[in-house]
DNA sequence: CCTCTGATTCGATATCTGTCAAGATAGACG
DNA sequence: CGTCTATCTTGACAGATATCGAATCAGAGG
């Protein structure tokens, strides 16, 4: 039980939505899965890799990780199920892109720019 | 495989650090556990409950959830291990508070205010 | 000291998760 | 139509996780 802040001292000075009003159970059910999807190092990197480009082919994602293609697919599915990315097959290849609304929802909760 | 964005159309217009440069493997290892900790509805609500006040007694947290005290402790430990909160015993009671640096780290990654 | 209360830890259990290898699909292209 | 390549799905499995109830620990106060 470390102690990095004088317990009685000043409160969290970082202001963000999370610190304004307790997240409701309903919001928590909706938002937690997105955090969960980003809660694995591989998926966090995948999401970032996809987010840095308009769209990314799976054939570009696969070689960026030392994992089987089955595992890559599995993680991409997690990200898609969480609503963070979307995908489309175009010919032989499948392309993924980020869903900005999803990032915005998380950002709104954590962003310090809310006040 | 739904299709909510015209694949070839404009890229993610929401700008945040995540979309600038792919998260490095090292950063992913450091940040993913924090997202993971927030990736459970119970813990997300707990973190928010703690973040909305300077500090919160466990005796206030416990009745806010329909869970055994053992389970509450378990989740609080997860949040603490992830570096999101810290705690201190004061007499009979234990108090938790948010670690603003941790929220700031996540915020920096997702915030739209970076450009 | 003894006991009471708040909180954590422990043991058990059911479920979930990350991973791989192998098999199944979907198009492209002869 | 057959085959090749890219991707996804399935089956299996070891390890993690959420949960409870019981046991333990830490102070407070007689």
CA dihedral sign, ordered A70, A72, A73, A77 = positive
pLDDT exceeds cutoff 50 at B9: no
Which chain A residues are Cβ-neighbours of B97 within 8 angstroms?
5, 7, 11-12
Q: How confident is the model at residue B19 (pLDDT cuts 50, 70, 90)?
A: confident
pLDDT at B105: 93
pLDDT exceeds cutoff 60 at B108: yes
- Which residue of A10, A28, A113 is in closest CB contact with B41? A28
Q: How confident is the model at residue A10 (pLDDT cuts 50, 70, 90)?
A: very low
pLDDT exceeds cutoff 60 at B13: no
pLDDT exceeds cutoff 70 at B55: yes
Q: Taking residues B11-19, what's their average pLDDT?
A: 61
B66 touches strand D (CB under 7 A): yes
Architecture field, domain A42-110: Orthogonal Bundle (1.10)
pTM: 0.88
Residue with smallest Cα–C1' gap to D29: B92
Q: What is the pLDDT of residues A64-95, one digit of tens each?
A: 999 999 999 999 999 999 999 999 999 999 99
CA dihedral sign, ordered B57, B103, A35, B14 = positive
Pair B7, A88: CB distance under 8 Å: yes
Q: Which nucleotides of C are covered by protein (CB under 7 A)?
A: 5-11, 17-23, 26-28
Q: What are the structural domain ranges in chain B?
A: 42-110
DSSP string, B9-73: S-------HHHHSPPPHHHHHHHHHHHHHHTSHHHHHHHHHHHTSS-EEHHHHGGGSSS-HHHHH
pLDDT above 70 covers what percent of chain A?
83
* B83 min Cα distance to partner chain A (Å): 10
DSSP string, chain A: ----S-TTS-------HHHHSPPPHHHHHHHHHHHHHTTSHHHHHHHHHHHTSS-EEHHHHGGGSSS-HHHHHHHHHHHHHTTSEEEEEETTEEEEEE-HHHHHHHHHHH-GGG-
pLDDT at B76: 98
A2 touches strand C (CB under 7 A): no
């Amino acid at each position: 039980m470390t102690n990095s802040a004088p317990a009685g001292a000043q409160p969290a000075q970082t202001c963000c939505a999370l610190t304004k009003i307790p997240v409701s159970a309903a919001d928590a059910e909706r938002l937690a899965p997105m955090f969960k999807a980003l809660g694995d190092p591989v998926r966090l990197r995948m999401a970032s890799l996809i987010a840095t480009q308009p769209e990314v082919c799976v054939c570009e994602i696969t070689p960026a990780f030392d994992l089987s293609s089955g595992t890559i697919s599995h993680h991409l599915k997690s990200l898609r199920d969480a609503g963070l990315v979307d995908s489309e097959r175009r010919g032989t290849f499948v392309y993924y892109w980020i869903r900005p609304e999803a990032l915005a929802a998380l950002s709104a909760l954590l962003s310090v720019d809310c006040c």
